[in-house]
Amino acid sequence: MIDLRSDTVTRPTPAMLETMMQAKVGDDVFGEDPTVKDLENKTASIFGMQAGLFCPSGTMTNQIAIRAQTQPQQEVICDQRSHIYLYEGGGLAYNSLVSVRLLNGVRGILSPEMVEENINPDDAHFPETSLVSLENTMNKGGGACYTLSQIEAISEVCHKHSLALHLDGARVFNALQATGDSPAQYGEHFSSISVCLSKGLGAPVGSVLVGSQDLIRRARRIRKVFGGGMRQAGYLAVAGIYALDYHVKRLSKDHERARVLAETLKKCDYVTSVMPVETNIVIATLKDITPSQFLSQLEGKGVKAVAFGKQDVRFVTHLDFTDEQLNRVVDVLKKLDRQPA
Ligand SMILES: *Cc1c(COP(=O)(O)O)cnc(C)c1O
C-alpha cells in the first residue's frame, strides 16, 4: 500500500532507529535527560531563539503557546482554516478561555492589512486582542507559504500593537526549503514557533516549542498541567536530532514529487482543479465522483489519500514515498475510471 494520507505516516529509518537504541537518557521531569536538553537547545539555536520545550505533539506545542501568551477573555487572530481552530478540538476555548477572530486569507495566508483591521479597539465591549497565529506551510491552503516580507510586515503590526506572534510550524522546514529563507529570520519575527518533528522530518513522535527563556519557563509549567511531562524521552528526542541533521535538505524531493502528482491530476478528466503546489501537499477538486468513491477506487489499486472537504482530496508526499512509488501512483491516477454521475 502506498500511503499518501499524511506525512505523519512515516516510520523511523534503520539509521534513526539505531541512534534511538544508543540514546543517553534520564528522567526529564527531573530535568535529567541530556538528550532532551540537546534537542531543545539545538532546535532553539537553529531558529535563533533562547530556549525550547519538547512536547508529545504539535497540538500540544500550539495549545501551550496560546495559553502562555493570552489571558482568559482575550482574542486570538488566525485564518479560518487554521489547524489551531479546526483540528485541535476547540482547545483555544477549552484550554485558554479565549475567543477567536477568524480571517479569510488567500489560501490561508493572511496579509498585514487584514491583521491590523481586525485588532480590537481599546473598548470594554470587545475582547482584547493579544495574539496572532500564522500557519506556515498552510495545510488547508494546499501547503502555501508566506514570503519573508509578508511575515516581516505582520510582525511589524504585532509589534506596533504589542501582540504576540505565534507560528504553527508543523511544516516550517518545508516552507524554509521552498522559500530559501533561514530559520533565524523566522526566529526574529515570531515570539513562539511550534516545530514538528513527526511530519516531513520523519521522527516517530514529537514537536518542539521555541521562544524566549521566559516564555519557555512558563510553557514548561503549562506542559506539566497538560500532562505532557515525559520521563526517559531522550529515546524520542534523539530521533528528532537525527531528523534535524539528515532529513531537512531532502524535503525538496518531496516537493518535486508533489509537483509531478499535481501535473498528473490536472490532466485527469475527473479533476476540475488542483491548488498551486509549493511544497509537499496536493489538493485536488473532483468532478462527477465523490471523494469517498474516488478514494475507495484508489485504495483498490493500492494507494491511499484523504477526503479534504466536500469535493476535495489531499495527497501528501513524504520520506517513505519513493520515485518508484510515484511512478505507480501516476499510472493508477491516469487509469482510474470516471464514475457515471
Ligand atoms: C499536524 C499539524 C499540527 C500538529 O499535529 P499533531 O498531530 O498534534 O502533532 C499542527 N498544525 C498543523 C498545520 C498540522 O498539520
The CATH number of the domain holding residue 133 is 3.40.640.10
**CA of residue 37 to ligand 1 center, whole Å:** 23
pLDDT bracket for residue 339 (50, 70, 90)? low
pTM greater than the 0.75 cutoff = yes
pLDDT bracket for residue 309 (50, 70, 90)? confident
255 and 129 co-located in one domain:
no
Whole domain around residue 256: which residue ranges?
Answer: 250-335
What is the distance between the alpha carbons of residues 158 and 177, in angstroms, rounded to a whole number? 26
User: Do 307 and 290 form a contact (C-beta atoms < 8 A)?
Assistant: no
* Total structural domains within the chain: 2
137 and 261 co-located in one domain:
no
Q: Is there a domain that residue 4 lies in?
A: no
Beta-carbon contacts of residue 139 (< 8 Å; ≥ 6 apart): 81, 83, 108, 170, 171, 281
257 and 316 co-located in one domain:
yes
Helix (H, G, I), strand (E, B) or coil at 281: strand
Question: What's the CATH code of the domain at 284?
Answer: 3.90.1150.10
User: Do 151 and 182 form a contact (C-beta atoms < 8 A)?
Assistant: no
Exposed, middle or buried: residue 73 (CB in 10 Å: 0-12, 13-18, 19+)?
A: exposed
319 and 183 co-located in one domain:
no
Q: Is there a domain that residue 199 lies in?
A: yes
* Section 211-229 average pLDDT: 98
140 and 172 co-located in one domain:
yes
Beta-carbon contacts of residue 122 (< 8 Å; ≥ 6 apart): 128
135 and 281 co-located in one domain:
no
Pocket of ligand 1 (CB under 6 A): 57-59, 62, 83, 135, 139, 168, 170, 196, 199, 207
Would you put residue 18 in left (φ > 0), alpha (ψ -120 to 50) or beta? alpha
Q: Nearest-CA neighbor of 234 among 23, 12, 57?
A: 23
Last residue of a domain, one of 225, 246, 267: 246
Q: Take atom 3 of ligand 1 and give the residue whose Cα is closest.
A: 58
213 and 310 co-located in one domain:
no
Q: Take atom 2 of ligand 1 and give the residue whose Cα is closest.
A: 170
**CA of residue 62 to ligand 1 center, whole Å:** 9
254 and 238 co-located in one domain:
no
Q: Is there a domain that residue 340 lies in?
A: no
The predicted pLDDT at position 341 comes to 47
Q: Is there a domain that residue 2 lies in?
A: no
Q: Take atom 5 of ligand 1 and give the residue whose Cα is closest.
A: 58
* Section 28-43 average pLDDT: 98
The predicted pLDDT at position 338 comes to 57
